[in-house]
Amino acid sequence: MAEKKKVVVAMSGGVDSTLTARLLLDQGYEVYGATMYQFDGQDEEIEGARKMAEFIGIPFKVIDVREAYQKFVLNYFIESYAAGMTPNPCMMCDFKVKFGLFYDEVRKAFDAPYFATGHYARIVYNPETELFEVRKGLDIAKDQSYMMYHLTQEQLSHIIFPLGRTFKKDTRLISKEKGLPTYNKAESQDICFLTSEKSYVEFLENHAPEAFQPGNIVDKKGHVLGQHKGIPYYTIGQRKGLGIAARTPLYVIELRPDTREVVVGSNEDLFRTRLLANELHFYDDKIPQEEFRCQAKIRYGVRVHDCSVKVGDDGRAVVTFDEPQRAVTTGQSVVFYDGDLLLGGGTIVRAL
């Protein structure tokens, strides 16, 4: 009998990762479970993952990634807001920690070639190009391929997403059928490190009070309309909480950390046709030399839009959309698709 393939499942104790481990067991894999120890106050999640690993009968380890998490996620989160950007900590965690340090450490710890998570995306090998491809999950409402544009060919050859062809509602039904106690467990919150704080602003107030410097709220012509208590309180497209009386609704259209100004304007002022992106990565590990057509989205959860992408000699891309996009936000990711094929992506530098 052929030796079973070894796979480590990143476990959180939730419905998706627990079912992932169980499905791989049912498929004949030799399955191990592991959880990232990212920050203090995570005891409940770690214990939940440990219990689920014990429940389905697989070995389990906790990998301490706190140093890397502080460096690549928390410091990035704090510094980005202080610089007037709107960061994506989940993307950075996936890039640098989960599919970075953790991916390497758990495969080494269990001497396992494969690594699996409960993400709703698909990895497909294309024999014509001899490349691994990330494709959208079949459940478009839950699709998480947006988070995967940084994965390399080497990583894709060792990663498994068992839920890529499953709909979320079916995940819970299958979990119940298999007797998994997580079938009705609530979804986790978006920003996992908010353990004692109620919001990201409260977290920043506690960990980076120096980022909250007062300044002026101005219109596009520079006229002072009011004052603010700190740029981290605001993000592009925000309407509520400005504290300014005006005849027509005002929205945050730009953040200027150098002058500590929050610029406001009309809803129409939020729309841009072009943006500049850097830190690019494409699924074939190559930077396109020619301008190309594709679809793109400028944040998780929105639909894709037709565009053209031209990468310059400086390695940065100008993305031109056929239709103006609302609230292009510095620090978020722009991700490129050809149908359901994930082509690549990058970080938004600014709207043009």
d(CA 242, CA 125): 50
Does the annotation list 36 as a binding residue?
A: yes
196 is in an annotated binding site: no
Longest Cα–Cα distance in the chain:
77
15 marked as part of a ligand binding site: yes
10 known member of a binding site: yes
Is-catalytic flag, 294?
no
Q: Half-sphere exposure (CA, 13 Å, Cβ side) for 102?
A: 31
Q: Given the structure tokens 């890039």, which residue do they identify?
A: 95
User: Strands 30-37, 60-64: parallel, antiparallel or unpaired by DSSP?
Assistant: parallel
What is the identity of the amino acid at 320?
A: T
241 is in an annotated binding site: no
Choice among 90, 192, 294, 307 that is catalytic:
192
What are the helix (H) ranges across the chain? 15-26, 43-56, 66-69, 75-82, 89-92, 103-109, 153-156, 168-177, 200-207
Q: Give SS3 for 55.
A: helix
The answer to the question of whether 118 is labelled as a binding residue is yes
Main-chain phi, psi angles of 334, to 5 degrees: -105, 130
307 is catalytic: no
User: What CA–CA distance (Å, rounded) separates 205 from 196?
Assistant: 13
Query: Which of these, 282, 324, 290, 285, lies nearest to 307 by C-alpha position?
Result: 324
Annotated binding residue at 14?
yes
Edge-to-edge strands, sheet with 261-265: 224-228, 215-218, 261-265, 251-256
Q: Which residue numbers belong to the known binding site? A: 10-17, 36, 118
Catalytic residues: 93, 192
Q: Which residue numbers belong to the known binding site for ATP? A: 10-17, 36, 118
